[in-house]
């Protein structure tokens, strides 16, 4: 590369960094303004102690999923949950109020216009998450990582802290049953992996996004079954769910990417392995057919919702996502062997 080309590249990088700093400030300002959309249901944040690991989520009508979701993440080491209820009309709110380690807010406002709940959670993270490791996960996502069955989250975060690492990446792995989705009944409190024991092991495309320097991962049964003709429209599967939060940080798109950009560096740029985890995605429980009809009607889950009408229609038809290439889930060591997560140098 010539000297003039290097100068142009350096100038372009400085200009990009400047634009992203202003974008982050706009996102933080937007979240500060959206705080007025939240009303306190129960505030137990006085219980949060120094060094506590915090969980953040926006939920709607998740009374069936929440018992196991809370149990799973409590067992990992999450000390307190800060949750926004977006106009649930089932028993979600009553259930969460009864949980002694949950602080709850509610809002009737648009999920889509809050950047899919990110604005609300960013405000709570600004106010309560500064200096804490914060796990941001939907109610249909279960975090696992190497040794999670023997080493709780404080062991992982202590290791990350000791190396000056402020973020932890994970692949969102779609889980599904064999047979039609409705054929695998699920009861509140049950481990979703019992109802959804299958996943796609190898059909993933990965590219590094130049602008935010995050990994853009697509594939799995959604790309295979619903976006086979246009795979680049399939949902992205890479996330940065665990961050040592600072009040100046902001997620850009759900937990798929964050600012400042260094938080997205959850991979080894030299081609080696970096410690990472998996978010087991339990969207395809039996009630997904009913929920998909509601989501299509509400148009709150995608920026260009009309582009996903066929996706929702396919889900309401109660499809069978299993194929001959499906793999039965056996545990984190299996996922590591398949290259879907890595222990890196965390031994």
**What pLDDT, on the 0 to 100 scale, is given for residue 331?**
98
Q: Which residue has the tokens 């989501």?
A: 295
Look at residue 186 in the predicted model and tell me its pLDDT: 95
Residue 220 is assigned to a structural domain of this protein: yes
Query: Residue 305: its pLDDT value, please?
Result: 53
The domain of 35 spans: 3-337
Give the pLDDT score at 170: 98
Cα distance between residue 308 and residue 331, in whole Å: 32
Residue 266's nearest CA partner among 247, 285, 279 is: 279
Specify if 329 maps to a domain.
yes
- Looking at the domain assignment, is residue 218 inside a domain? yes
- DSSP-derived letter for residue 86 is -
The per-residue DSSP string of 221-284 comes to HHHHHHSSS-GGGSPP-EEEEEEE--TT-EEEETTTEEESGGGG--S-TTSS---BEEEEE-TT
Provide the CA 7 distance to its chain's centre, in angstroms.
38
Instruction: Check if the beta carbon of residue 190 is closer than 8 Å to that of residue 287.
Output: no
Q: Per the domain annotation, does 344 fall within a domain? A: no
Residue 345 within any structural domain of the chain: no
pLDDT (0 to 100) of residue 68: 98
Distances (CA, A) of 53 to 20, 141, 167: 28, 17, 13
Strand runs labelled E in 25-93 = 39-42, 54-59, 80-85
As for how many domains the chain has, the answer is 1
Q: Which two tokens stand for residue 320?
A: 């069978």
- 347 lies in some domain: no
Q: 245 near 134, Cβ under 8 Å?
A: yes
The pTM score is: 0.94
Residues 186 and 184: their CA atoms lie apart, in Å, by 7
Q: What is the full per-residue pLDDT of the chain (347 aa) written as tens digits?
A: 677 777 777 788 889 999 999 999 999 999 999 999 999 999 999 999 999 999 999 999 999 999 999 999 999 999 999 999 999 999 999 999 999 999 999 999 999 999 999 999 999 999 999 999 999 999 999 999 999 999 999 999 999 999 999 999 999 999 999 999 998 899 999 999 999 999 999 899 999 999 999 999 999 999 999 988 888 889 999 999 999 999 999 999 889 999 999 999 999 887 788 999 999 999 999 988 877 666 666 655 555 555 567 787 888 889 999 999 999 999 999 999 999 999 999 98
């Amino acid at each position: 590369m010539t000297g003039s080309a290097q100068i142009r590249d350096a100038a372009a990088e400085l200009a990009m960094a400047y634009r992203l700093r202003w974008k982050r400030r706009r996102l933080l300002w937007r979240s500060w303004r959206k705080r007025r959309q939240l009303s306190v249901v129960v505030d137990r944040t006085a219980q949060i102690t120094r060094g506590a690991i915090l969980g953040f989520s926006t939920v709607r009508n998740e009374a069936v999923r929440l018992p196991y979701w809370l149990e799973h993440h409590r067992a990992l080491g999450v000390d307190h949950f800060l949750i926004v209820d977006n106009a649930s009309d089932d028993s979600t709110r009553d259930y969460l109020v009864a949980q002694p380690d949950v602080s709850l807010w509610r809002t009737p406002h648009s999920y889509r216009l809050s950047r899919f709940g990110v604005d609300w959670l960013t405000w709570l993270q600004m106010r309560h998450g500064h200096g804490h490791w914060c796990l941001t996960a939907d109610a249909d996502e279960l975090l696992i990582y190497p040794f999670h069955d023997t080493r709780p989250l404080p062991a992982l975060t202590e290791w990350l802290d000791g190396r000056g690492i402020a973020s932890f990446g994970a692949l969102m792995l779609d889980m599904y049953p064999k047979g039609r989705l409705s054929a695998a009944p699920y009861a509140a409190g049950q481990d979703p992996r019992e109802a959804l024991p299958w996943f796609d092991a190898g059909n993933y495309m990965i590219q590094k996004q130049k602008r935010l320097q995050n990994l853009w991962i697509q594939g799995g049964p959604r790309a295979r079954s619903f976006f086979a003709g246009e795979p680049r429209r399939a949902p992205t599967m890479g996330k940065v769910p665990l961050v040592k939060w600072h009040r100046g940080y902001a997620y850009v798109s759900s937990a798929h990417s964050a600012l400042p950009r260094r938080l997205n560096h959850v991979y080894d740029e030299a081609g080696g392995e970096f410690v990472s985890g998996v978010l087991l995605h339990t969207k395809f429980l039996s009630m997904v057919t009913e929920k998909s009809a509601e989501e299509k009607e509400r148009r709150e889950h995608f920026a260009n919702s009309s582009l996903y009408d066929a996706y929702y229609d396919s889900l309401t038809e109660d499809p069978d996502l299993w194929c001959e290439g499906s793999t039965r889930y056996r545990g984190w060591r299996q996922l590591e062997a398949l290259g879907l997560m890595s222990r890196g140098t965390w031994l």
